């Protein structure tokens, strides 16, 4: 019993290795996980103490649990069985397809990544590129039902919209975005998923996929997850606030329980003196579609040039970026008044358009029209336009120094970019781009 057993060195190493693994998995790793979990829980409690909208348990649940909950939801299972009957595939195959869609949609929110990295990076990038201003915050936003689900609905001007809004509401809540296919590339997809965003396939006609997506949106809304939607469904190609595409809104209304948690839609209007993708969008509009040219090397080259100039102090960025926050729209009240999904979409887009701030560059682009004879004439046009906009209740975010400063801040970038000549005449080949900016100013 106490005799010596001789074993090869390789076998001894193998035995010791298995023993070390067993010790780590049964004693060490659980202790380490408990230590870090306790630290994460304390950090989350401190974070929730300063947020107006607490991070809900739905967002913090394990992703594997949420995938299973979504994939085995009664309505999803029924849709999978209907899909199997319609296509002739076995039920197990249809259920696995539903699980695949669930894994594709469900995010993996990380509070550490969102508040430790994303919001700080969003602030840095926003301030690097623009002078960021808030055009309006409706006073009724301070009277929101604390139990209501908040959904920010925004016009889609630029891919920087995600960055700008993430920073502006970082002290209020963590936002879950609906993100299109453009972001489903590694490693960007992993980071976006960890920030709480969920991926959607725009225009998908697969009934099973639509049901899985609908149930995820309805679950998140019912659990109080703060969300952000772009009802237009894509970037504006002409500079205007377009009509709503009703897909996600339809899912929210369809799953709404009037006796449960209310849903408050907060209209957000976004505006930029310079939209970084402006030429790409104008070209797509001229081509009559949404086939955007992918030019990564061109983008990288111009980004490097800008950063070099910015850090040397040779440029101050791309002007002003501003956001306006309008009065919330209660879904419960809207439906009680006899409203429908269609009227909700129209109502929200009107509310968004009403709080889009008017900035100097779009204002001057609107005023210059087919050209001006002199700077004084153009300044008079700007003054007239400003007076009309003020009378119409538009949100103006203009330099407080007066008309001369407004004209200088709006005209100089247009001349520098070659959209307008020194003689205050539009450049013929750039009229479409000039009209793109002018269209964001309300008609008065």
Write out the chain's pLDDT in tens, 444 residues: 566 767 677 766 877 777 777 766 665 555 544 444 455 445 445 545 555 555 555 555 677 888 888 999 999 999 999 999 998 889 889 999 999 999 988 887 777 777 778 888 888 889 999 999 998 889 998 888 888 999 999 999 998 888 898 888 877 777 888 877 655 555 556 667 667 788 888 777 889 999 999 999 999 999 888 899 999 988 899 999 999 998 899 999 999 999 889 999 999 999 999 998 899 899 888 888 777 666 667 767 777 887 887 777 767 789 999 999 999 999 999 999 999 999 999 999 999 999 999 999 999 999 998 888 899 999 999 999 999 999 999 999 999 998 999 999 999 999 999 999 999 999 999 999 999 999 999 987
Alpha-carbon gap, residue 327 to 267, rounded angstroms: 7
Q: Do 119 and 156 lie in a common domain?
A: yes
Question: Is residue 23 one of the residues assigned to a domain?
Answer: no
Q: Do 208 and 290 lie in a common domain?
A: yes
Contact 68, 95 (CB under 8 A): no
Question: H or E element: which one contains 278?
Answer: helix 278-287
Domain boundary among 354, 374, 391: 354
Contact 195, 118 (CB under 8 A): yes
Report pLDDT digits (tens) over 340-353.
999 999 999 999 99
Please state the domain count of the chain: 3
Alpha-carbon gap, residue 222 to 121, rounded angstroms: 30
Q: Do 307 and 226 lie in a common domain?
A: yes
Tokens of 59: 């967002």
Alpha-carbon gap, residue 413 to 394, rounded angstroms: 23
Instruction: Report the helix count and the strand count for the chain, using DSSP H and E.
Output: 20, 8
Q: How far is C-alpha 167 from the geometric centre of its chain's CA atoms? A: 11
CATH number at residue 148: 3.40.1130
Question: Is residue 242 one of the residues assigned to a domain?
Answer: yes
Alpha-carbon gap, residue 245 to 243, rounded angstroms: 7
Farthest CA pair distance, the chain: 109
* Half-sphere exposure of residue 42: CA atoms within 13 angstroms, side-chain side: 5
| Residue carrying structure tokens 């879950």 | 176
Question: Is residue 124 one of the residues assigned to a domain?
Answer: yes
Q: Do 249 and 287 lie in a common domain?
A: yes
**Residue 353 three-state SS:** helix
Q: Do 298 and 153 lie in a common domain?
A: yes
Q: Do 180 and 296 lie in a common domain?
A: yes
Q: Do 121 and 84 lie in a common domain?
A: no
Domain boundary among 324, 354, 384: 354
Report the chain's terminal Cα–Cα distance, integer Å.
99
pTM of the model: 0.84
* pLDDT at residue 57 in the model: 54
* pLDDT at residue 368 in the model: 93
Question: Is residue 13 one of the residues assigned to a domain?
Answer: no
Q: Do 222 and 261 lie in a common domain?
A: yes
Contact 181, 199 (CB under 8 A): yes
* pLDDT at residue 34 in the model: 46
Q: Do 165 and 271 lie in a common domain?
A: yes
- 360-368 vs 403-416: helix axis angle to the nearest 10? 80
Domain boundary among 354, 389, 420: 354
Q: Do 255 and 275 lie in a common domain?
A: yes
* pLDDT at residue 353 in the model: 95
CB-based contacts of 257, cutoff 8 Å, min separation 6: 222
Question: Is residue 16 one of the residues assigned to a domain?
Answer: no
Question: Is residue 3 one of the residues assigned to a domain?
Answer: no
Question: Is residue 14 one of the residues assigned to a domain?
Answer: no
- Which domain does 63 fall in, by range? 57-103
Q: Do 114 and 67 lie in a common domain?
A: no
Q: Do 187 and 139 lie in a common domain?
A: yes
Question: Is residue 36 one of the residues assigned to a domain?
Answer: no
Alpha-carbon gap, residue 181 to 202, rounded angstroms: 8
Strand blocks (E) in 353-405: none
């Amino acid at each position: 019993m106490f005799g010596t057993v001789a074993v090869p060195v390789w076998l001894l190493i193998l035995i010791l290795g298995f023993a070390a693994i067993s010790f780590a998995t049964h004693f060490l790793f659980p202790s380490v996980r408990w230590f870090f979990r306790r630290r994460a829980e304390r950090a989350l409690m401190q974070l929730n103490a300063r947020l107006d909208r607490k991070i809900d348990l739905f967002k913090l649940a394990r992703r594997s649990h949420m995938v299973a909950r979504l994939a085995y939801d009664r309505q999803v299972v029924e849709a999978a069985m209907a899909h199997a009957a319609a296509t002739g595939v076995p039920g197990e195959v249809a259920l696995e397809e539903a699980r695949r869609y669930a894994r594709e949609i469900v995010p993996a929110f990380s509070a550490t990544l969102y508040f430790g990295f994303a919001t700080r990076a969003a602030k840095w990038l926003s301030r690097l590129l623009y002078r960021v201003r808030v055009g309006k915050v409706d006073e009724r936003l301070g009277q929101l039902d604390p139990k209501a689900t908040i959904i920010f609905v925004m016009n889609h001007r630029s891919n920087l919209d995600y960055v700008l809004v993430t920073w502006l509401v970082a002290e209020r809540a963590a936002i879950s975005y609906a993100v299109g296919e453009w972001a489903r590339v590694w490693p960007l997809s992993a980071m976006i998923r960890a920030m709480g965003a969920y991926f959607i396939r725009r225009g998908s006609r697969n009934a099973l996929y639509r049901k899985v997506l609908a149930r995820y949106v309805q679950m998140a809304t019912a659990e109080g997850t703060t969300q952000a939607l772009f009802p237009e469904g894509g970037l504006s190609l002409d500079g205007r606030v377009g009509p709503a595409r009703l897909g996600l809104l339809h899912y929210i209304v369809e799953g709404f329980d009037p006796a449960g948690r209310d849903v408050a839609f907060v209209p957000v209007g976004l505006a930029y003196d310079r939209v970084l993708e402006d030429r790409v969008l104008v070209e797509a509009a001229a081509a009559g579609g949404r086939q955007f040219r992918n030019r990564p090397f061109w983008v990288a080259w111009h980004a490097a040039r800008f950063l070099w100039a910015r850090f040397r102090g040779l440029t101050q960025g791309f002007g002003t970026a501003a956001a306006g926050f309008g009065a919330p729209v209660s879904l419960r009240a809207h439906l009680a008044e006899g409203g429908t999904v269609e009227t909700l979409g129209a109502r929200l887009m009107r509310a968004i358009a009403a709080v889009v701030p008017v900035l100097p560059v779009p204002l001057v682009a609107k005023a210059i029209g087919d050209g001006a004879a002199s700077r004084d004439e153009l300044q008079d046009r700007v003054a007239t336009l400003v007076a009309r906009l003020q009378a119409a209740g538009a949100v103006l975010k203009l330099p407080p120094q007066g008309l001369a400063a407004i004209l200088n801040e709006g005209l100089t970038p247009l001349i520098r970019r070659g959209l307008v000549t020194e003689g205050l005449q539009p450049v013929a080949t750039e009229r479409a781009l000039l009209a793109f900016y002018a269209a964001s100013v309300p008609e008065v």
